[in-house]
Amino acid sequence: MTTPLFRDDAYLREAPARVAAHTPEGGVVLDASVFYPQGGGQPGDSGSLRWEGGALAIATAVKGGGDDIVLLPAEPSPLPPVGAEVTQILDFGRRHAHMRVHTALHLLSVVIPLPVTGGAIGEEKGRLDFDMPDAPEDKQALEDALNALIARDLEVTTEWITDAELAANPGLVKTMSVKPPMGAGRVRLVRIGTAQEQVDLQPCGGTHVARTGEIGPVRLGKIEKKGKQNRRVSVVLAG
């Protein structure tokens, strides 16, 4: 299994690791990874590997078998040998953009308290699909409310609960399309605000900024109708 270093420190940009395996498709599995694997609407990270006598550009990371994380090369190239010690270097600019957008989407689910039916995260914008039969009457009021939450510079933290605790609190799950991973005995929660002044708490395995102020100002894009009851709301980073 690959130890997910990003889960404990989303700001870790570089780390040593050992090559645990190669995949038949030409991917690299490390024993520990700073690269987030594609999932939950968040893209896989990119960057590079360096080792004695070689270097490899990494285009993305995906989930492999079990708890493995597979790093996919940007182009066909010699791989570091199994057992080799490597230094992994994250494209942190791209990751940090994903972190800003991801946290902004959690706040969007606060200002629009409706069931979420889908979502996607990009470098400059992201979107959530809501079970929203009628369009909002005042989009500007939603944008203002979102930016007000961001400007409060709220702390963003993580904690873990058991599968049983989540099952006893189904209201924590906002997403109808993506269910939190269960079966390992525990589930990771992302909290925005303090336990005493909580703004949001929901299961999430992705990476987030440490404080909402890092997101910066945002604007809402066009609200699109997607099917009978679904509407897509986009959030765009303004700077």
Can you give the residue ranges of every domain in the chain?
3-90, 95-237
CATH architecture of 3-90: Beta Barrel (2.40)
- Strand spans (E) along the chain: 3-4, 14-22, 28-30, 32-33, 47-51, 54-63, 69-73, 85-90, 116-121, 125-131, 156-162, 186-193, 198-203, 218-220, 224-226, 230-237
- The pLDDT, as a whole number, for residue 169 is 73
**pTM, two decimal places:** 0.91
pLDDT greater than 50 at residue 176: no
pLDDT at 181 over 60: no
Give the confidence band of 174 by pLDDT, cuts at 50, 70, 90: low
Q: Looking at the domain that runs over 95-237, which CATH code has it been given?
A: 3.30.980.10
* Residue 137 confidence (pLDDT) above 90: no
63 pLDDT higher than 50: yes
- What pLDDT sits at residue 178? 52
* Average pLDDT for the chain: 92
